[in-house]
Chain A
Amino acid sequence: MSSLFAIEVPKWGLSMEEGTLSRWLIQEGDSFKAHQELCEIETSKIANALEAPSDGVLCRIIAQPGVTLPVGGLLGVGAQGEVSAADIEAFIASRGGAPSAAATPAPSTAAAPVKASAPEPQAKASQAVAAPVATPAPQSTATQIPATLQGQTDETQVQATPHALRMARELGIDLAKVTGQGRNGRISQKDVEQAIVAQGGRLAAPQLATPNRQPLRSTEDDSRLEATPLARRLAKQWGINLHDCRATGARGRICQADVEAAQRTYQPATSTVAAATAQPTAIPQADFEVQPLSGMRRAIAQRLQESKRNAPHYRLSLDLDLENLMALRQEINASIPQVKVSINDLLIKACAQALIRVPEVNVQYDEASQSIRRYSDADISVAVALPGGLITPIVRAANQKSIAQISTEMHHLATKAKAGTLKPEEFQGGTFSISNLGMLGIRQFDAIINPPQAAILAIGSSEQRVVALDGQMVIRQQVTVSLSCDHRVIDGALGATFLRELKRLVQTPVLMLV
């Protein structure tokens, strides 16, 4: 008897629609036990491991790491018993996808599915199946749940894998009474099975927890274990958790030899990816230089193209009188050595306050779920120009921060941006953006919205202008700002209300201090 089954993207939550495969935890041809972790999948909310639905052999990998598939999308094919390559192809075809098309995630791994029709994987698969895997033991005893575990699980209070939750529901187990050994104490089905056995219960034979052939690998935080610097480095390189190493060094430290021993135990098969891409022959042409797009350039191109295409932009412009803001700045800078406030810092603060007062502008547009996310804090993304690109570090909760805090934070963020040391959380997200080209002498410009945000303020240069005030020509320090809004979520009157509030704050800056 042989059968094939799909390994597919699970649905881990009501809102989950797709998942991105981060990495496979086993190789093609490896056999696995039920509930063994097969691969890691990330959604926009969580990263989690996919457990095997039953015992079997991974006879075909369809999706490569980095690929995003909808829920139910085919990641790979599992087998029980002898299967042929043709069977596998037929199975994949029955799932509605030509195998080669389904498995072309990234150009570098495009060569992989071509091998599928060759006889070699078949041999590999059947050989692996012959290993002591798919021999279901006769069902001799029924499952018995010890009283200590019985109960109802409050699913909002425990962290558990979907399999563990289902098992708990089916068997009437309160998972709060089970100790999880997964990442961050997450309870897996295996933990439940072990708890049942440990507390005197019995499991139906197929579910009996059996040790994996592969030694279990720890996922605990090992940063506090004592290890020599060399051992720590090797462990990191080889992906070995120090909890999996013996500590034979002096004073109980894990040393190089211990990590090497662990490495020998696991012997992860090294996969070689042959990426032979044909180089097109260059035809001599007129004078130009080919510059491949940098990662940053690509991200800018992709995101802003998407924004310009999808978000119906409209713009509102306004002149702000800066006399009072300049006076405030002058006074702050002259009196406190620790602080140097720029006009830009003050405008960040003013925008943050205006966003709190007009919260309908402090939003992100979630196109997929057709909803608006309204934020309680103003996280202001500030565009910083770099050689060959730009990045938008974020002043988080600028509404809650003092002007001095904003100034110091912005000073460091800008330097980190230039040194390329910003951490993802320092530039990903944000509820509103500011772009300032004033220092380059630009009087006024329109900016493209930074999705999924819904508005961006473009700031021109601060300059002396002759303006009419009470029937007199006077010279005032002024700046022109333009607000670009996504009309899908911010209507014209709303954008104008925000700008009016901003103007009030900038021209009466004392309002920002109270």
Chain B
Amino acid sequence: MNDYDVLVIGSGPGGYVAAIRAAQLGLKTAVVEKQHLGGICLNWGCIPTKALLKGAEIAHTLTHLDQFGFSVENPQFKVERLVQHSRDVSAKLTGGIAYLLNKNGVEVIRGRARVLDKGVVSVLEEETESVFKAAHIILATGARPRNLPGVQADGQRIWNYFDALVPKAVPSSLLVIGSGAIGMEFTSLYQDLGSQVTLVELNNRIMPVEDAEVAALVHKSFERRGIQIHTQTAVTAVDTQNPQHLVCTLRQANGQETQVSVDRVLIAAGVQPNIEDLGLEALGVELETGFIKTDAWGQTNVFGLYAIGDVAGAPCLAHKASHEGVLCVEKLAGVDSAHALDYDYIPGCTYTRPQVASLGLTEEQALARGYQVKVGRFQYQANGKALAMGDSEGFVKTLFDAATGALLGAHMVGPEVTEQIQGFGIAHTLEATDEFLQQVVFAHPTLSEAMHEAILASSGRALHH
């Protein structure tokens, strides 16, 4: 007889959400965690970085006090206090997850899990091994930072995001490899805290997954702040001989090599799934480009075995993992209303200065798919609230299908756009058309008025253009 109806391996935003949903549906559920409840997101990702970014924002504000009539003599900054704040937030949230799991009747099993056979999991904690049977096993083991050929994180001077979250001091100079969300956020953060940051990207532009116009604006903005950006460039080696500084070899697309000396290097060149030591090979679990292959509901090729979140493939985002967790559980529990996820419409947020938020297709993708696209743009420079805040860099860009009025994509760069993107998310999920969205009353004065204007602009009707 089974010990559990559902056993989840990993308690990150995918795993713990899946476990809670399963318990809510009346299934006997347990979650296995080898380290921290909450996974990377709460402990080493989304949340602690946001705590540090608040510090960076204050640092930036301090340089612009005069605009609002203030002056502060010689402000002091202790990085260890900021790091402490960030760790405190993580600890608090991790406690919250324990409470939620307990409240919903999910058992937490501590230790390292391994799938022994279909429906059988062993959990090793220190020296003790326990074996559990479960009708459904959900793998939610997440991902970890990827190393590069020739550049290995050492936890001292060559960092990955774990190290970048707990700096002992702000490095005088930092070289960031990779301009995905993680690389971009740390670039912006450390530049604001006083580092001289160099950003290196292999692609021909930074933020390769974002709309080209948005990436171009951020590129310009970063350069204005003094960040050095090298695109189409690879870091081929980091020389650690000199105890004072690291010497990085940068190779451009044309083969030309240059050397850059920096205090610290941060590798932010993507993640790789945690699929090792889980017993997957013996079971014959199929992989796809290194990630576990699943159907639209997280089912792997093995009976009763599912995978959700980062371990099941890109985009490696917490909210995608949570959503997949709920869908997977609802499907296996026979909940009728479960709808498969539309992977084109998972919002993405990057907490740089300026912030970037997007949903759906980029203009390039929409055109490539043969849509006749109506594009609307609106600059925050024409938005009263943004001007009043002294933060009016950026724009909103909307893409509608000319034939149906459907929202194809929305791309935002500027003040607090990460808090606004879900307005477009709701519109898309409810299949609102441009005509409907034009009729929505947006409150004044808000930043979100720029969304409305961009919608109007896509039909040539912007009022404050």
Contacts and interface: CB of A to CB of B under 8 A. Distances in A.
Partners in one complex: yes
Interface of A: 228-229, 250-251, 333, 337-340, 407-408, 411-412, 414-416, 418-422, 439-440
B334 A411 contact: no
12 contacts: A250-B405, A251-B433, A333-B118, A337-B283, A338-B303, A339-B303, A340-B119, A340-B304, A411-B135, A411-B303, A415-B5, A421-B333
B334 A415 contact: yes
A228 B436 CA distance: 11
B301 interface: yes
Nearest to A420: B26
Nearest to B405: A251
A337 B292 CA distance: 14
Given A337-B283, A338-B302, A439-B1, A416 B405 contact: no
B118 A418 contact: no
B27 interface: yes
B136 interface: yes
Name, among A250, A422, A439, the residue most crowded by chain B CB atoms within 10 Å (CB to CB).
A250
B26 A250 contact: no
A304 B405 CA distance: 59
A228 to B, nearest CB: 8
B335 A421 contact: yes
Interface string B302-337: 111000000000000000000000000000111110
B285 interface: yes
A337 B302 contact: yes
A426 B135 CA distance: 20
A418 B27 contact: yes
Contact of A411 (B1, B304, B435, B439): B304
Contacts of B285: 337
Instruction: Specify the main secondary structure of chain A where it touches its partner.
Output: helix
A250 B27 CA distance: 43
Interface residues of B, number: 28
Contact of B334 (A337, A408, A419): A419
A339 B283 CA distance: 11
Contacts of B118: 333, 337, 340
Contacts of A412: 332, 334
Contacts of A420: 25-26
Interface string B96-118: 00000000000000000000001
B303 A340 contact: yes
Nearest to B305: A337
A90 B27 CA distance: 58
B435 A418 contact: no
B443 interface: no
Contacts of B405: 250-251
Contacts of B26: 418-420
A338 B333 contact: no
Contacts of A338: 301-303
Interface centre among A228, A339, A416, A418 (most CB of B within 10 A): A418
B284 interface: yes
A421 B334 CA distance: 6
A422 B433 contact: no
B430 A418 contact: no
User: Which 7 residue pairs across A and B have the least CB separation, nearest first?
Assistant: A416-B334, A419-B333, A421-B334, A439-B1, A340-B303, A340-B118, A337-B284
A148 B275 CA distance: 74
B416 to A, nearest CB: 28
A438 B302 CA distance: 26
Interface of B: 1, 5, 25-28, 118-119, 135-136, 283-285, 301-304, 332-336, 405, 430, 433, 435-436, 439
Given A250-B433, A337-B284, A339-B303, 8 more contacts: A337-B303, A408-B303, A415-B333, A420-B25, A421-B25, A421-B335, A421-B336, A440-B1
B301 A337 contact: yes
B304 A229 contact: no
Contacts of A407: 303
B332 A415 contact: yes
Nearest to B24: A419
A34 B329 CA distance: 53
A383 to B, nearest CB: 14
Contacts of B119: 340
Contacts of A250: 405, 433, 435-436, 439
Nearest to A419: B333
A80 B25 CA distance: 55
Given A251-B435, A337-B284, A422 B334 contact: yes
A407 B135 CA distance: 12
Contacts of A416: 333-334
A458 B17 CA distance: 39
Nearest to B434: A250
A201 to B, nearest CB: 47
Contacts of A419: 25-27, 333-335
A415 B138 CA distance: 14
A464 to B, nearest CB: 18
Residue from the set B118, B433, B439 with the largest chain A CB neighbour count within 10 Å: B118
B339 to A, nearest CB: 13
Contacts of B25: 419-421
A165 to B, nearest CB: 38
A390 to B, nearest CB: 14
A228 B432 CA distance: 9
Nearest to B332: A415
A338 B5 CA distance: 18
A419 B334 CA distance: 8
B349 to A, nearest CB: 26
B330 to A, nearest CB: 9
A419 B332 CA distance: 9
Nearest to B331: A412
B325 to A, nearest CB: 15
B299 to A, nearest CB: 10
Contacts of B302: 337-338
A372 to B, nearest CB: 34
A144 to B, nearest CB: 52
B145 to A, nearest CB: 30
B333 A414 contact: no
A408 B299 CA distance: 12
B108 to A, nearest CB: 21
A333 B118 CA distance: 9
A408 B302 CA distance: 11
A418 B1 contact: no
A312 B436 CA distance: 68
Contacts of B27: 415, 418-419
Nearest to B436: A250
A440 B2 CA distance: 11
Residue from B119, B136, B333 whose CB has the most chain A CB atoms within 10 Å: B333
A169 B126 CA distance: 86
Contacts of B439: 250
Contacts of B28: 418
A47 B301 CA distance: 43
Nearest to B299: A338
A235 B221 CA distance: 51
Contacts of B435: 250-251
A422 B26 CA distance: 13
Contacts of B333: 415-416, 418-419, 421
B413 to A, nearest CB: 29
Nearest to B285: A337
Contacts of B334: 412, 415-416, 419, 421-422
Contacts of B135: 411, 414-415
A228 B27 CA distance: 34
